[in-house]
Amino acid sequence: MTTPSFAGQPAEPGTLWGTVTAVQANYYSVSLDGLVSFGETLDSVADIPPTLLCTRRARLKKVGQQVMVGDRVQVEDPDWEGRRGAIAAVSQRQTQLDRPPVANANQILLVFAVAEPDLDVHQLTRFLVKAELTGLDICLCLNKCDLLEADAQATWQARLRRWGYAPVMISVKQSLGLPTLADALKNRITVVSGPSGVGKSSLINRLIPAAELRVSAVSGKLGRGRHTTRHVELFELLTGGLLADTPGFNQPDIACAPQALGECFPEIRERLQNHRCQFTDCLHRAEPGCAVSSDWERYPDYLQLLDNCVTQTQLAHDSADPEAAFKIKITDDGQIQHEPRLSPKKYRRVSRRSRKQSLEDLRYELTDSIDNLEALEEEDIDIDF
């Protein structure tokens, strides 16, 4: 079994490299690359286990080098019988996602269903924009095609192509379109995303062989369940490539600089390929000399999301200047309005969603602290060189 060299790390002869597939406390599961250069020094390449449970060298800890799932790492002192090793170096990350925490991911697999639940184009747009904001490639996949006639499926495909996406149409239930999807996941690190009920878990279980038997060496060792919010694990696909087993963002809040939002719409990117707006900071709201017309389906969604981004940016700006009596609001038609600042109490009233988010953040931090404590405890048995 080989793991492709995702980050393009050129391995020196005699060095052992692999990809971290799971992390818990200070233990790391490392799926090793092809072991050709080691084969010469051992009886048989086939005897070498593909995954080693590793600790992190003390010198990496000292310089604060964290190790994440997806990291490309160099492993030293392999103990083939005990299937242990030590991580000696971490390759520079090509990409880094925070939720779920995954390094070197190449793409987001965005799963929606054509029915049950009905496909909500506004919700789809939010998920697409959120995925675009990561800067990773997007593979859009529409599941439950068994519930829709062929011509209705074709209508969806044509509509989404006009948005700039080429959806892979599948049915997990009837095993339709799965080889095409597997092809899109080949030799890449993929993180799954999408709303609940669309069939993400069903799909992940189908794509990862012997899904029901999946127990990681790491969580097995520590006697813990896999499915905590923070922990993510990468699983090897039969066709090559790795898939994160934890779905990514579920309720996307779009928060970005207003200028960055246009980049998240293929329709805008396409229109700006050959034409430029008159103003370099144009937000494409019918400003004079704007090269982005309004004659595309998702233009109203763009305007609405833009409005949110402008307001949020303004709120962030205002909170940095608590003395200001007025705040500036940019209206839909681009006019600047001065509004009295809300009283701090009212202004700070926390929505249910942000309260939930804060609780989640707190949980993340607590889990982190527990991990760190465990890491400290286990330092005693950690062999440092």
Three-class SS state of 74: strand
- As measured in angstroms, the least distance from the Cβ of 198 to ligand GDP is 4
Q: Based on CB atoms, which residue is closest to ligand GDP, 146 or 263?
A: 146
Q: Under the criterion CB under 6 A, does residue 251 sit at the interface with ligand GDP?
A: no
The one segment of 165-173, 235-243, 293-301, 304-312 that binds ligand GDP by CB under 6 A:
165-173
Residue 201 φ/ψ region, left for φ over 0, alpha for ψ in the -120 to 50 degree band, beta for the rest: alpha
Query: First CA to last CA across the chain, in angstroms?
Result: 30
Q: Under the criterion CB under 6 A, does residue 200 sit at the interface with ligand GDP?
A: yes
* Beta carbons of 298 and 163 less than 8 angstroms apart: yes
Tell me the two tokens of residue 92: 């520079």
Q: Binding partner of residue 282 among Zn ion, ligand GDP, none, CB under 5 to 8 Å per kind?
A: Zn ion
Q: Under the criterion CB under 6 A, does residue 31 sit at the interface with ligand GDP?
A: no
Binding mask 177-196 for ligand GDP (x = CB under 6 A): -------------------x
Report how far residue 117's alpha carbon sits from residue 194's, in angstroms, rounded to the nearest whole number: 12
Comparing CA positions, the residue from 195, 212, 307, 316 lying closest to residue 258 is: 307
- As measured in angstroms, the least distance from the Cβ of 203 to ligand GDP is 7
Report how far residue 326's alpha carbon sits from residue 338's, in angstroms, rounded to the nearest whole number: 6
The one segment of 12-20, 30-38, 58-66, 289-297 that binds Zn ion by CB under 5 A:
289-297
Among 290, 305, 309, 310, binds Zn ion (CB under 5 A): 290
- As measured in angstroms, the least distance from the Cβ of 233 to ligand GDP is 16
Q: Binding partner of residue 146 among Zn ion, ligand GDP, none, CB under 5 to 8 Å per kind?
A: ligand GDP
- As measured in angstroms, the least distance from the Cβ of 228 to ligand GDP is 17
Report how far residue 357's alpha carbon sits from residue 145's, in angstroms, rounded to the nearest whole number: 33
Q: Under the criterion CB under 6 A, does residue 201 sit at the interface with ligand GDP?
A: yes
Subset of 328-367 contacting ligand GDP (CB under 6 A) = none
Report how far residue 310's alpha carbon sits from residue 122's, in angstroms, rounded to the nearest whole number: 19
Tell me the two tokens of residue 113: 């269903």
State CA 356 to chain mean position distance. Answer: 20
Q: Under the criterion CB under 6 A, does residue 246 sit at the interface with ligand GDP?
A: no
Q: Is 32 exposed, middle or buried (0-12, 13-18, 19+ CB in 10 A)?
A: buried
* Beta carbons of 19 and 31 less than 8 angstroms apart: yes
Q: Based on CB atoms, which residue is closest to Zn ion, 53 or 282?
A: 282
Q: Based on CB atoms, which residue is closest to ligand GDP, 205 or 367?
A: 205
Radius of gyration of the chain (CA): 24
Among 200, 231, 284, 298, binds Zn ion (CB under 5 A): 284
Query: Using CB under 6 A as the criterion, which residues of the chain lie in contact with ligand GDP when the complex forms?
Result: 143-144, 146-147, 171-173, 196-202
Query: Using CB under 5 A as the criterion, which residues of the chain lie in contact with Zn ion when the complex forms?
Result: 277, 282, 284, 290, 292
